[in-house]
Amino acid sequence: MESIDSFYGYFNLVLGSTMTLIGFRVYRPFTKEKEEAMYKKFGNFFKYGGIALIVWGLIKIF
């Protein structure tokens, strides 16, 4: 059972890192037209949600 908890922790780290990079516009996976509409709607969600997932992943691992 401990191995599945570690998997969830690492998965949250990867997902949280990706969300944070998208939220702070370091990684831009969308085209310009879609990008501006997406950032207006979900920008803060990606920033704060990504950081929360990183913290939660670290808690699950350690």
The per-residue pLDDT string of the chain (62 residues; one tens digit each, 9 = 90 and over) reads 567 778 999 999 999 999 999 888 887 777 778 778 888 889 899 999 999 999 999 998 88
What gap in Å lies between CA 48 and CA 23, rounded to an integer?
8
pLDDT for the residue numbered 32: 79
The answer to whether the Cα torsion of 50, 9, 15, 27 is positive or negative is: positive
| Stated pTM of the model | 0.82
- The amino acid at residue 52 is A
- The amino acid at residue 51 is I
pLDDT for the residue numbered 1: 52
pLDDT for the residue numbered 14: 96
pLDDT for the residue numbered 26: 85
Helical axes 2-23 vs 32-61, angle rounded to 10°:
150
